[in-house]
Amino acid sequence: MALTVAVQMDPIQAIRIAGDTTFALLLEAQSRGHTLLHYTPDRLSMRDGRVTARVEPLRVQDVEGDHAHLGAQERIDLATVDVVLMRQDPPFDLAYITATHLLERIHPQTLVVNNPFEVRNAPEKLFVTAYPELMPPTLITRDKQEIEAFRAEHGAVVMKPLHGHGGAAVLRVLPEDPNFGSMFDLFSVTFREPWVVQRFLPRITEGDKRIILVDGEPLGAVNRVPAANDIRSNMVRGGKGGATALTPREQEICAAIGPELRRRGLILVGIDVIDGNLTEINVTSPTGIRAIKRLGGPDLAVPVWDAIEAKVTKPQSA
């Protein structure tokens, strides 16, 4: 059954398609005969209870620099489409949260992927703390004394903003670090939210594994190895992806969280695992699909759309 699919994303003209998961999803949707509509979050509106957007018809092709062709804009009621893909990149700020509130008005009659209520209530570095037995020791605070006590117990730590993304402002703090006071001051004036402080995992040099779960099932992974002299494995920060398989510990982690992801309607999720430790559960706009395929793994856009189509074509209460 052909669907009408609206994608809420950053401007499609500016994306780098080689590593863009949203683009992979659009290619697969188009190949199935679905109609694509594109809009950016700033074109989302609500008036008298109706959620609308100024959208453009979209055609895509896997050609860098000539990858997207847009038609004329028109305002539509998003309740009239079958699926909305909420795929704009973080930051997870008030604008992002507001978008989840608006899209919640049309879901599930229009299927929003991922479920906007659950996206709002599962911030990636907080949701993961529901599974402390799977994580490294973790502290969330702005309290300097608490951080110092945590460092005294665990030695080297990693500090990062609670709602950060893409590896930005991720810092390693040594056990005896003369820069800690300055780091604390910098974080204090830069970020209003608490910070995540975790025990440093030395085997990060061997990779930070991104595992993609589709409707709660782990279907592919890429091992991201940091660049020299960096602890950040994000590929936008210079990390290099490599083919990989899941270890028994990683399978255990996926089995523990998978049912809850499915229950929450989080169809496409990317988790991060370092040395058998779960560090993040990414639900806003997880990436990794194109890297996994490029490295010889499956095209995970296929099962993602299988899952979406199954949910659209069966009663939403099922």
How confident is the model over 91-124, as pLDDT tens digits?
889 999 999 999 999 999 999 999 999 999 999 8
Is residue 277 among the annotated active site residues?
no
Catalytic residue, chosen from 160, 209, 264, 290, is 160
Q: How many Å apart are CA 283 and CA 19, to the nearest integer?
A: 18
Is residue 125 among the annotated active site residues?
yes
Report residue 315's pLDDT band, with 50, 70 and 90 as the boundaries. low
Is residue 282 among the annotated active site residues?
yes
pLDDT score for 318: 38
Catalytic residue, chosen from 232, 264, 290, 311, is 232
Structure tokens at 155: 């030695």
Residues 6+ apart with CB under 8 A from 258: 213, 216, 217, 218
User: pLDDT tens digits for 9-27?
Assistant: 999 999 999 999 999 999 9
Pairing label, strands 268-274, 208-214: antiparallel
As a whole number, the mean pLDDT across the chain is 93
Element (H, E) at 70: strand 68-70
User: pLDDT tens digits for 51-62?
Assistant: 999 999 999 999
Is residue 293 among the annotated active site residues?
no
Structure tokens at 124: 């990636």
Residue type, 60: V
For residue 300, the number of C-alpha atoms closer than 13 Å in the C-beta half-sphere is: 30
pLDDT score for 105: 97
As a whole number, mean pLDDT of residues 244-268 equals 98
Is residue 160 among the annotated active site residues?
yes
Contact present, 253 and 134 (Cβ < 8 Å)? yes
Q: Angle, nearest 10°, between helix axes 180-190 and 144-154? A: 140
The mean-pLDDT minimum among 130-134, 157-161, 216-220, 263-267 falls in 157-161
pLDDT higher than 60, residue 237: no
pLDDT score for 235: 58
pLDDT score for 317: 44
Is residue 142 among the annotated active site residues?
no
DSSP 17: G
pLDDT score for 15: 96
CA distances 175 to 88, 150, 152, 305, Å, are: 37, 10, 7, 47
Is residue 262 among the annotated active site residues?
no
Please report, to the nearest 10 degrees, the dihedral formed by the alpha carbons of residues 24, 27, 30, 36 taken in order. Answer: 60
Is residue 272 among the annotated active site residues?
yes
Report residue 316's pLDDT band, with 50, 70 and 90 as the boundaries. very low
The mean-pLDDT minimum among 57-61, 169-173, 220-224 falls in 169-173
Structure tokens at 221: 């992974």
pTM above 0.85, yes or no: yes
Report residue 234's pLDDT band, with 50, 70 and 90 as the boundaries. low
- CA 149 remoteness from chain centre: 31
